[in-house]
Amino acid sequence: MVELLRAENLAVGYPMRTGFMEGLSGKEKGTLRALDGIDLSIGVGEIVALVGESGCGKTTTGKALLRLVDERYVRGSVRFDGVDVYGLSRSGLSGFRKTAQMIYQDPYQSLNPKDSVMEIVVEPLRVHGLSVGRDARSRAVSALEEAGLKPGGEYVDRYPHELSGGQRQRVAIASSLILEPRFIVADEPVSMLDLSVRAGIVRLLASLRDNRGLAFAFITHDLSLAWLLADRVVIMYLGKIVEEGPADEVISHPSHPYSIALVDVLPRIEPRAGRKRRLLSGEPPNPVCIPSGCRFKPRCRYATDLCSEKEPVLEAVDGAAPGHLAACHYRGSLPS
C-alpha cells in the first residue's frame, strides 16, 4: 500500500496551570501528556480506526495529524505525501488544509445555522480564495448527491434546522468533499446519530474510500463500528498506542489486556459457552501523572513485577498476521 501519512514519535503535552494567579503569571504546574509519542502510518485509500476510551488522546491525535494543535505543544513529526507538515510555509499549509480535513462529532454545532445548505457546502472554496463561479449551485448539488442527499436540488435552499442529524452530517461531509481532499479525520462522526442513520453514514465513508481513494482516520470509542468500517484498527490507552493491526485480526485475536477487555464487552449474538465477560475495572488514570512501567498496569489482571519495572513497547505478536503489534510483555500468551 502506498503510504500517504506518517507520524513519528508524535506527542502533545499541554502545560497545566492551576490557580487563577498562576494562570495570570503564566506559571505552569506540570504537563498533561495528552499524546505520549506515537508512530502511525496511513496508506492511500486506507481507513484506520483510532479506538479507546474517553480522554485517551484520540481527538488530540487527529488534530495533531492535521496541525490543528497549538504547535508549541507538539513534538515529533508528521509527513504527508513525504512532506513535513509542521515545516510547511503559509501557502503550503493552505494547500494541506484543502487536502486533509476534519469532520466533527456534532452536526448540530459544526454548521452555521444562518447559512443555507448551498452556502455551507461552497464555503470552503471561499475560505481558500477559490472561485466559486456561477455554477455554485450545481457544484453544491453534486457534492450533496455524492454525500448521499439526493436529489441535491431539494436540499440546497434549506437551512440546518430543516434537516435531520444524519442529513446535517451529510452536509458537513459534502462541504469537506468540495475541496477534493485525500485524507479526512472523522472524529466520532456518527456517535450522536441514531443507530439506523449510523449505518448509512458509515456506508458513505466506505464508498468515498472505494470511489475516491480517500483515506480516513476514523475516531470512535465503538470497536464494533471500527471493525465494520476500518482496514486497520489502532487501540489507544492513555496517550499511547497499545495495539494495532488488521481490523479482523485485532478483533478476533486481541493481544493487549486492554484490547481483550474492549473485545469482551462487544455484544455477541451467541455467547461462547462458559465464557465470562471481563469488565475493565477502575477509572482511566490521569495523564498528568502516568504510571511508571506499563501504563495499563493499575487496571491489569495479568500484571507482574516486570510490568512495573519496564515499559512495554509495540512489538509484533508472535504467530499473528503481519502488522499486528501489541505493547505488552505478555502479548500473544494471554487468554483472549
Ligand X SMILES: Nc1ncnc2c1ncn2[C@@H]1O[C@H](COP(=O)(O)OP(=O)(O)OP(=O)(O)O)[C@@H](O)[C@H]1O
Q: What residues line the site for ligand X (CB under 6 A)?
A: 14, 32, 34, 52, 54-60, 221, 287
Beta-carbon neighbour count of residue 332 at 10 Å? Answer: 16
Residue whose CB is less far from ligand X, 100 or 163: 100
Q: How far is the C-alpha of 47 from the C-alpha of 209, rounded, in Å?
A: 8
Q: How far is the C-alpha of 295 from the C-alpha of 81, rounded, in Å?
A: 33
Name the binder of 32 from Mg ion, ligand X, none, CB < 5-8 A by kind: ligand X
Name the binder of 175 from ligand X, Mg ion, none, CB < 5-8 A by kind: none
What is the secondary structure of 226-287 as a DSSP string?
A: HHHH-SEEEEEETTEEEEEEEHHHHHHS--SHHHHHHHHTS--SSPPTTPPP-PPPSPPPPT
Residue whose CB is less far from ligand X, 104 or 155: 104
Q: How long a stretch of residues is the chain?
A: 336
How many residues sit in the footprint of Mg ion (CB under 5 A)? Answer: 1
Please, what is the minimum distance in Å from the beta carbon of residue 187 to Mg ion?
6
Q: How far is the C-alpha of 154 from the C-alpha of 240, rounded, in Å?
A: 45
Please, what is the minimum distance in Å from the beta carbon of residue 32 to ligand X?
5
Residue whose CB is less far from ligand X, 158 or 221: 221
Query: Residues 6 or more apart from 109 whose CB is under 8 A from it?
Result: none
Amino acid identity, position 252: S
Give the residue closest to Mg ion by C-beta: 59
Residue whose CB is less far from ligand X, 51 or 149: 51
Residue whose CB is less far from ligand X, 35 or 326: 35
Please, what is the minimum distance in Å from the beta carbon of residue 54 to ligand X?
3
Phi, psi (deg, nearest 5) at residue 29: -125, 85
Instruction: Kindly tell me which residue out of 59, 61, 101, 220 binds Mg ion, with binding defined by CB under 5 A.
Output: 59
Residue 80: beta bridge partners?
5, 83
Residue whose CB is less far from Mg ion, 59 or 167: 59
215-220 and 240-246 as β-strands: parallel, antiparallel, unpaired? unpaired
* Residue pointed to by grid coordinates 495570570: 24
Please, what is the minimum distance in Å from the beta carbon of residue 91 to ligand X?
27
Please, what is the minimum distance in Å from the beta carbon of residue 188 to ligand X?
7
Please, what is the minimum distance in Å from the beta carbon of residue 24 to ligand X?
17
Residue whose CB is less far from ligand X, 188 or 231: 188
In the chain, where do the E strands start and end?
A: 3-15, 31-43, 47-51, 74-80, 83-84, 100-103, 183-187, 215-220, 232-237, 240-246, 315-316, 325-326
Residue 257 in contact with residue 281, Cβ under 8 Å?
no
Name the binder of 287 from ligand X, Mg ion, none, CB < 5-8 A by kind: ligand X
Please, what is the minimum distance in Å from the beta carbon of residue 188 to Mg ion?
6
Name the binder of 14 from Mg ion, ligand X, none, CB < 5-8 A by kind: ligand X
Name the binder of 60 from ligand X, Mg ion, none, CB < 5-8 A by kind: ligand X
Q: Which residues are at the interface with Mg ion (CB under 5 A)?
A: 59
